[in-house]
Amino acid sequence: MATAAVATASRVRTEKAPGIKPRGWIGFLFIAPNLLGVIAFTLIPLISVVVLAFTDWNLVSGLGGITFNGIDNFVAIARDPGFWHAIGLTLVYVVVSVPLTVVLGLALGIALNRPLPGRAVLRAIFFLPYIVNVVAIGMTWLMLMNPKAGLVNQVLDAFGIQPGWFASSHWALPALIVMAIWGGVGYCSLIYLSALQDAPRQLYEAADIDGASAWAKFRVITWPSLLPTTIFLLVTLIIGASQGFGLIALITAGGPGDSTTTISYYMYQTGFQFYRFGYASAIGLVTFVGVLVLTLLTWRAQRGRALNE
């Protein structure tokens, strides 16, 4: 959800609703049902999470047990090896899975943009993982990646490798990365596909007349025209990869050991297994700010490059 808003936000701000004669409170009445709900179910929880981040509170002590402890939670986070371990894992997960998904999605998008037999069906097939719920997908992959008899290792047997996947602390994170790529490539390819259809046709024709190679055309025309899409996808996937904990809660519960305790799962664990609400809120807040800074940097770096070219 957040992603779309980030993308929309930059677009929205540049437009202006043309002024219509003020009709006072009538417009407010139209907004009221939504606004009241947003206040009750989003705004109040949002303020609460900020307040909670400055408290020491767990479920056992009840509402009366809330004590404000200033920035203690944030100091504790800075010294918490569990937190930094989780941040490190999340970085590995994001840095490996996101660029691979985007690059493969781009290749697939370009391929699917050609005339192909059964093209519409092909597109639908690659998109399919994206619309299926995480439990059905997780359960299936868990069994596919069974180290002894799963289909994946039956295939890999031909190459003489037998990863332990979710049973091994070395292979559990790579297993999640494989799943993330499988699940995200089709989505990226579709986004690229709709961008490719807007690509500047005359430029390709001009390049053909000049006898440009396919690679030159890609580098000079296609890639720059796809840059906004690439940024959008990077931001979307970075946020998605750093916030979701469902799959991990389902398959590995952060393990074996703490080999898949990413930051979102660490927060889930702190909040809903140890019921340390204050500390969990602080972790959530720090992560959110971190991801926000990271996405803004991505945005800016790419935009700067776009201007230079």
Partner 1 sequence: MSKKWMWGIPLWILALAFLAPFAWMISTALKPDVDAYKIPMQWIPNPFQWDNFTTVLTGATSVLPAFGRSIFVAVLRVAGELITATMAGYAFARMSFKGRDKLFLLYLATAIIPAQLLLVPRFIYFQKLGLYDTLWALILPGMFTVLGTFLMRQFFISQPAEFAEAARMDGANEWRVFTRIYLPLATPVMSALGILAFVWSWNDYETPLVLISNPDRYTLPLSLTNFVDEQGQIAPGLTMAASVISIVPVLIVFVVLQRRFIAAMTHTGIK
Residues in region 93-152 near partner 1 by CB under 8 A = 111-112, 114-118, 120, 122-137, 139-144, 146, 148-151
Alpha carbon dihedral 9, 13, 19, 22, in 10-degree steps, equals 50
Calculate the CA 254 to chain-centre distance: 18
Q: In one letter, which amino acid is 266?
A: Y
Taking alpha carbons only, the member of 271, 262, 272 closest to residue 241 is: 262
**273 touches partner 1 (CB under 8 A):** no
Look at residue 92 and give its three-state secondary structure.
helix
Instruction: List the one residue from 94, 191, 226, 231 that touches partner 1 (CB under 8 A).
Output: 191
- H or E stretch covering 67: strand 67-68
Instruction: List the one residue from 54, 74, 182, 218 that touches partner 1 (CB under 8 A).
Output: 182
Map the footprint of partner 1 across residues 201-240, applying CB under 8 A: 232, 236, 239-240
In whole angstroms, how far apart are CA 97 and each of 89, 175, 302?
A: 12, 11, 19
**48 touches partner 1 (CB under 8 A):** yes
Q: How far is the CB of 305 from partner 1 (least distance, A)?
A: 22
Q: At what angle do helices 81-112 and 263-272 cross, to 10 degrees?
A: 130
Q: How far is the CB of 232 from partner 1 (least distance, A)?
A: 7
**197 touches partner 1 (CB under 8 A):** no
Stretch that binds partner 1, among 75-83, 202-210, 215-223, 278-286 (CB under 8 A): 278-286
**60 touches partner 1 (CB under 8 A):** no
Q: How far is the CB of 286 from partner 1 (least distance, A)?
A: 11
**249 touches partner 1 (CB under 8 A):** yes
Taking alpha carbons only, the member of 219, 231, 236, 228 closest to residue 195 is: 228
Q: How far is the CB of 135 from partner 1 (least distance, A)?
A: 4
